[in-house]
Amino acid sequence: MVYCMYFFSFSKLDEILKKEEKASCQTYFRKVLSENRNLAIKLVNDTRITFPCFFVLMPVVEKENIYSLLREDLKKAYDFSKSVSANKPSNLKKDIKNKILLKWMVESSHLHNNLGGDFNEVVDVAVSILANEYRELSLLGIISELIFMRNRYDENIHDLVWAYFRFNTPITLKYIARFLDSKNPKDRKLAKKLLGCEAKSCKDFLKYMTEDESKMIYTDESFQYASNPRVYAAKEGTDHDLHKGKQV
Q: How does pLDDT run across 2-21, given as a tens digit for each residue?
A: 444 444 578 999 999 999 98
Q: Is the predicted pLDDT of residue 139 greater than 90, yes or no?
A: yes
Residue 241: the pLDDT is 47
Q: Is the predicted pLDDT of residue 39 greater than 50, yes or no?
A: yes
Band (195; pLDDT cuts 50, 70, 90): confident
On the CB side of 196, CA atoms within 13 Å amount to 20
- Inter-residue contact 83 to 90 (CB < 8 Å): yes
Q: Is the predicted pLDDT of residue 240 greater than 60, yes or no?
A: no
> What pLDDT, in 10s, does the model give residues 106-131?
999 988 888 888 999 999 999 999 99
Residue 218: the pLDDT is 54
Query: What pTM was computed for the model?
Result: 0.84
